Amino acid sequence: MLSDWIHWLSLKQTDELLFAVLPLLLLDAPRYCVAGILLCVWDIGRFLLSPLLGWQTQRRLSHQPSVCVVLAGLNEADTVGSTLASVWGSYPDLEIIVVDDGSSDGMTTVAETFAADHDNVIVLRKPQRGGKSSALNFALPFARAEIVVCVDTDSHLQPQAIWEIVQPFADPRVGAVAGTVLARNAETNLCTWLQAAEYLRTIFVGRMLSSRLGILGIVSGAFGAFRRTAIERLKGWDVGPGEDGDLVLRLRKSGWQIVHAPYAQCLTNLPTSFVRLFKQRRRWEWAVITFECRKHIDLGNVFSSNFSWNNLGLLVERFTFTIALTLAFAAYLVWLVLQDRELLIFVLLTNYVAYLALEVVQWLVILFYSLDRRRDLRIALCAPLMPCYFFYLRFATLVAIIEETFWRRSFDDNFVPERVRRVTWRW
């Protein structure tokens, strides 16, 4: 088979080979590999020129606004204690609000036990589950700080995480800052190992690039910071699926800037099975249709008073890479299957090898920016499996696009309670 494939490659012209790897060139090469290289080149050039031009290269943690950390969760008695321990004392002017969204496992008891021995910790309990948006809104009137930091109750903040995430708020135009979410359970099994590698590429480096381009459209619910006055002007979180992405797009439409703090890092538990991972990614991708294609399509309205080219760029990026090219990729695979079996195998093998080459480049970019190269090198050992992993994720995206486009599937998901879904507008 290998010799047949090599012979097949030797017979192909350059344009034929380019067509064979067209999905790769369209989907991941420009979005991550080429963009990552350009990002590295820019930062290396900036570093080399900084002594001549007097630019500052050292990151200074000098901005110190007051901070309220909100931990909202459901049935997280096993993890909320360690999350509280990672947050408390990590920043000088800090208050913590824990919201138990109707748990039945003693989460409130664990939080109250912690609060009894630690200052500035408030524990709130909702008698009935309302969903994460409802829990965050429940906490908002109790927050007095300038910055509200949302952290999942199964996450663990790195020591300087809050200091890092508040620095961009020195710019009064910034309304929200996305932290970097990384895997806490990367070595549990193959599923978490592959996700850990993905998070380094798409969240750590990918959002760094989106932020530089001004088209960042997501702040992870696991770890993100918001200017309290900006949230209050928007009357808090809309109650419905995908509350984190929805709020960010509403902030963008109101004229606020959204940026990424790559070294504000949070460790979180990732799904430990491919079935749970598939369900998670379907839910995430539903939001692209719900928000960018329906609720917030006016981001690209040139006649809007809040129109910006960056917002239009965000829409174009989402439509192109998440929707249009996913559908084109599916059509390309169908075309291959309808050809002959040998062509299908040779094209897939060619794409696999090309993908591995891009993986090497992308890991060099990740390691260039990494704070823990030993850890990230261990994670990088799964690189030979990443092409198959991203094929799996692309299939989840395709399913989500079809489901949400034709059936508005997100409003049947139990991530939000049914009684809440019934009174929520079905975008």
Q: What is the pLDDT of residues 276-291, one digit of tens each?
A: 999 999 999 998 898 9
Residue 344: the pLDDT is 80
Report the number of secondary-structure helices (H) and strands (E) in the chain.
19, 8
Look at the chain and report how many structural domains it folds into: 1
Give the pLDDT mean for 165-176: 97
Tell me if 203 is assigned to some domain: yes
Percentage of the chain surpassing pLDDT 70? 96
Tell me if 122 is assigned to some domain: no
Q: Per the structure block, which two tokens stand in for 237? A: 């979180």
Tell me if 151 is assigned to some domain: no
Residue 403: the pLDDT is 94
Give the pLDDT mean for 165-192: 97
Give the pLDDT mean for 16-38: 73
Task: Enter the pTM of the model.
Answer: 0.92
Residue 263: the pLDDT is 96
Tell me if 62 is assigned to some domain: no
Residue 27: the pLDDT is 66
Task: Indicate whether 357 pLDDT > 90.
Answer: no
Residue 209: the pLDDT is 92
Q: What is the distance between the alpha carbons of residues 351 and 324, in angstroms, rounded to a whole number?
A: 20
Residue 25: the pLDDT is 67
* Lateral strand order in the sheet of 67-73: 121-126, 94-101, 67-73, 147-152, 223-227, 174-183, 257-268, 155-157
Mean pLDDT score of the chain? 90
- Report the candidate in 86, 272, 87 with the shortest Cα–Cα distance to residue 192: 272
Domain containing 210 equals 1-9+20-47+158-427
* Lowest-confidence segment of 79-93, 153-167, 366-380, 411-425 by average pLDDT: 411-425
Give the pLDDT mean for 198-206: 94
Tell me if 390 is assigned to some domain: yes
Q: What is the pLDDT of residues 369-418, one digit of tens each?
A: 999 999 999 999 999 999 899 999 999 999 999 999 999 888 888 878 88
**Exposed e or buried b for every residue in 324-338, given b needs 16+ CB within 10 A?**
ebbeebbebbeebee
Tell me if 184 is assigned to some domain: yes
DSSP string, 53-103: HT---S--------EEEEEEESS-TTTHHHHHHHHTTSSSSEEEEEEEES-
Tell me if 147 is assigned to some domain: no
Residue whose pair of structure tokens reads 């991550």 in the numeric block: 32
Tell me if 244 is assigned to some domain: yes
Residue 275: the pLDDT is 96
Distance from the Cα of residue 416 to its chain's centroid: 20
Q: What is the distance between the alpha carbons of residues 141 and 372, in angstroms, rounded to a whole number?
A: 38
Q: Per the structure block, which two tokens stand in for 168? A: 């961009």
- The CA distances from residue 29 to 4, 224, 262, 322, 357, in Å, are 27, 28, 22, 14, 10
